[in-house]
Chain A
Amino acid sequence: MTKTTRTSRRDFIKVSGAALAAGGVSSLPFASASAQSFPSRNINVYVPTREGGGADRNLRAFSNVWKKYLNTNFEPGFYPGASGRVGYELYMGKAKADCYNLIFGNMGPELLNWVVKKPTFEVSDCVYFGRVDTDPGCVFVGANSPFKHIDEIVEEGKKRKLNVGTSRLAHPASIGILALGEHTGAQFNLIPLSGGKNTVAGAVTGEMDFSVLTSGTVAARGDAVRTLLVFNDENVLGERLDNAPTINGHFGTNLPPLLSARAFAIHRAAIEEYPDRFQVLQDSFKKVFADPEYKAAVVKAKGNWEYINYGGISECEAYAKDIQALGERFRPLLTGRS
């Protein structure tokens, strides 16, 4: 299931040869030699969702360009299950912490997962270091819905409890609608529908009063849906999200952007043991964003280039802190223990 990795004889000879050529083994620290040869083989990427989904497309587009800067290939392995929990547990439990094993996940829902239910590993041992995009959550209805504006939803929510479809309870968009309810006094009943496809279907077929989801997915559905609110400081997609207002702008709330953010993470132990290798990963990761080839790949795959948003280790840390604080605040509602 997982590939255990260790320095092979060939790797050792290669590193030793490079060191000798540079002026003798005794004068060169091993870690430095190892960094210069990094990566000497393919890098495994654990993906905690299914093949063919958004993460898969996103990863392919990014790694196809990143590999140029590392002169190696990326080998994705898909380990779906339990809202990403299976993939993370396998990565932290079985993959070797040597910088040759990374995980590519969705920071928002997954960090909320850990707030709702602690994993078997220490959360801080898994370090997000490379954010690829930021995709804000949004409120949307089906094209035939009687709701034309977010104010109508809030008004109706004050009269009766509205059913709200969401891909899963522990999701930034779910937090967004709970925060809106708290702010306005409207009552919302979150119904987890197991994935984006069902969440869109819930809104379009009218089973739900409305749904919440990442706006990138909603924008891709075109005229079948209508966006009414965006959980971000700005609606950067504009027309593609029906020029919907933002929650802070329209309601005067002070919420941080409620984003899903796809990002690469790595074992903390790998960073500590192989700092030079980690530096190579970080430097090369950043270069991809300036590469026109990457933009072309995203645009060709009908992705939203506006959502491509570089984030390093500090941006990821700040994001994690915000989302975990929100998760703790709404924990009783997300776990049904209110």
Chain B
Amino acid sequence: MEFSPDLFASLFFHTIGYWWVIIPSILLGLIVGAIPGFSAANTIIILLPLTLVMDVEVGLIFMVALYCSSRMGAGIPAILVNIPGTAGAAATPLDGYPMTKAGKAQQALAISFVSSTAGGLLTTVVALLTMPWLARVSFYMHSVEMIVVMLFGISLIATIAARDTLKGLIAGFFGLMIGAIGTDHVYATPRGTFGFLELYDGVPLIPALVGLFAVSESFLMIEGESILSQHGKDVIRKSGWAATLEGARIAVFRWWHITWNSLIGLVIGVIPGAGASIASFVAYQQSRTYSKTPERYGTGHPEGLIAPESANNGVTSGTLIPLMILGIPGGATAAIMLVVMQYHGVILGPALFTDYPELGYGVFMAMAVTYLMMIFTVLPLARYMSRVTLLSTVYMAPLVIAFTLVGSFVPREYMFDMYLALAFGVIGYIARKTGYHVAAILIGVILGPLLEQYFLRALKMSDGDLMVLFSSNIGNVLWMLLVFSVTLSLYMQHRRRSTDSAEDGKSR
């Protein structure tokens, strides 16, 4: 696995020659990513018979392009109508949707597109150059270390609780309780399933996601005529290409933010079993902790949008590293790619890069070329996509509910999941009306079961000794970083409050 500029240059031009596969795959990926319930993984499964008869190189380019663009596509409805298409985009509406409500949908989309493509491209290049070393990350990040990584994401609940401590904590614990529904991870004992078989595997994420965010939002939409204020409508109507360029400029100007968060995504993506949902929440938490303006997060702050979008695209190249080097897929889409490669007799591992460099490196080159093509094909669409927000709520609310209910049904094809989405919609509506933060509930629902899984595994491995949590050097370093990160966040908050009250005192 030696670095060869000539090989990379020839691969680059060779891959560009497959534009006729990449561009349609990008458009398909955007569509399936934007529809809740659909994802690159289930689309590739549906198209598996087609993929298997393709030449292996064409099949892989098709899958990679679909994978990258669907990740970006999931952010579009999250920004425009508060519907995250996948769990990986769950942190995107926290700041994306407030931007839309302020009439800045076009800028928000442009920020999302630039962050996604730049983050994805950067991490692909880093992955290409450092693959053998990055693959080793999964040798060190085991259950104990993952518990701490989860706690980084879960500590966001505390951040949210800082605005209204009691309500924030109640919402977070409520989410964690919902996340505990289902059979336990060791002995498969059902807990809190109320006799519903459909809950044995836990609360399905998509119905919870779309219910809490989109359905509850639709109930709120019905109360008004538009999701935009009159000012917001005027801004959207008047905005031209300049708004797209403005969004792109905001993102490019924060290149360091994109770099940092996409690298978080890359490292988390390398760990088998971890994924975009963890990466986006951890990136959001980190971004807020070290921001100079943390108080603006959650109100439509560009950095709050850049963090999850660059992180969840950083995950895409990360998940392919253990697949290509170790034969272990890092995520669901990578697992299906493994099926296709095995079908074509491709043996994965370091030998792949010497025996078939055009395939080994070619997968990552396809990813890089896809991201390059995405920025030119998708960015101009921001202007037209943002017009969706001008639609009257008379049409938008029922459309959103219909789409999200279908999206809830798709992953498992259970009617139960549609009812569940509605139930979560009602919970989300009540939460919003009474001042409880739905994001805190959702963090508990998404990260709670993962935390429990790693925690129980670590305990089982140590015969129930809690000190196992501090048994690894890397884990201990992560613990210190977590404590530092939370303390810093609390300290900055305290200092800001002191400054604010001092300024209030002066102005009186």
Contacts and interface: CB of A to CB of B under 8 A. Distances in A.
A169 B186 contact: yes
Interface string B350-379: 010000000000000000000000000000
Contacts of A221: 327
B328 A223 contact: no
B138 A82 contact: no
A85 B201 CA distance: 10
B185 A192 contact: yes
A86 interface: yes
B13 interface: no
Interface in A75-134: 77-83, 85-86, 89-90, 116-117
A1 B186 CA distance: 29
Nearest to B417: A1
Contacts of B1: none
B139 A198 contact: no
B239 interface: no
A79 B414 CA distance: 9
A201 B273 contact: yes
A197 B197 contact: no
A221 B325 CA distance: 11
B318 interface: no
Interface stretch (B102-110, B217-225, B337-345): B337-345
Interface in A188-239: 189, 191-194, 197-198, 200-201, 204-207, 220-224
Contacts of B291: none
Contact of B42 (A51, A77, A117): A51
Nearest to A221: B327
Nearest to A51: B45
Given A1-B413, A205-B272, A224 B45 contact: no
A57 interface: yes
Given A52-B336, A86-B200, A302 B345 contact: yes
Given A163-B461, A198-B272, A301 B343 contact: yes
A335 interface: yes
A206 B414 CA distance: 38
B339 A336 contact: no
A336 B464 CA distance: 13
B45, B139, B457, most chain A CB atoms within 10 A: B457
Interface in B149-200: 183, 185-190, 197-198, 200
Contacts of A79: 412
Interface residues of B, number: 46
Interface string B449-463: 000010001001101
Given A201-B273, A205-B272, A81 B201 contact: yes
B201 A80 contact: yes
A148 interface: no
A191 B461 contact: yes
A117 B197 contact: no
A205 B415 contact: no
A169 B186 CA distance: 8
Given A82-B183, A90-B197, A117 B328 contact: no
B48 interface: yes
B48 A81 contact: no
A161 interface: yes
A44 to B, nearest CB: 13
A85 B200 contact: yes
Given A198-B273, A206-B139, A224-B326, A302 B185 contact: no
B432 interface: no
Contact of A205 (B142, B189, B336): B142
A205 B343 CA distance: 25
A277 interface: no
A262 interface: no
How many A residues touch the partner, as a band? 35 or more
Given A82-B188, A83-B188, A86-B198, A189 B463 contact: yes
A68 to B, nearest CB: 18
Contacts of B326: 204-205, 224
A66 B349 CA distance: 36
A86 B349 contact: no
A61 to B, nearest CB: 11
Nearest to B182: A82
B90 to A, nearest CB: 22
A168 interface: yes
Contacts of A82: 183, 188, 190, 197, 200-201
B481 interface: no
B197 A85 contact: yes
Given A301-B343, A302-B342, A205 B139 contact: yes
Contacts of A86: 197-198, 200-201
Given A52-B45, A90-B197, A224-B327, A80 B188 contact: no
B460 A189 contact: yes
B328 A200 contact: yes
Nearest to A170: B188
B348 interface: yes
A336 B188 contact: no
B200, B328, B349, B413, most chain A CB atoms within 10 A: B328
Contact of A197 (B328, B347, B412, B414): B328
Interface in B133-149: 138-139, 142-143
A197 B272 contact: yes
Given A82-B188, A205-B138, A224 B328 contact: yes
Contacts of A52: 41, 45, 48, 335-336, 339
Contacts of A170: 188
A204 B201 CA distance: 26
Nearest to B329: A197
A206 B138 CA distance: 9
Interface in A224-261: 224
A1 B342 contact: no
Given A197-B328, A201-B272, 15 more contacts: A1-B414, A1-B416, A81-B200, A161-B463, A169-B187, A189-B460, A191-B461, A192-B185, A194-B185, A205-B139, A205-B326, A206-B139, A221-B327, A302-B342, A336-B186
7 contacts: A86-B200, A117-B188, A197-B335, A201-B272, A206-B139, A207-B143, A224-B348
Give me the 8 closest cross-chain CB pairs, A-B, nearest first.
A82-B200, A81-B201, A201-B272, A207-B142, A224-B327, A52-B45, A201-B328, A51-B45
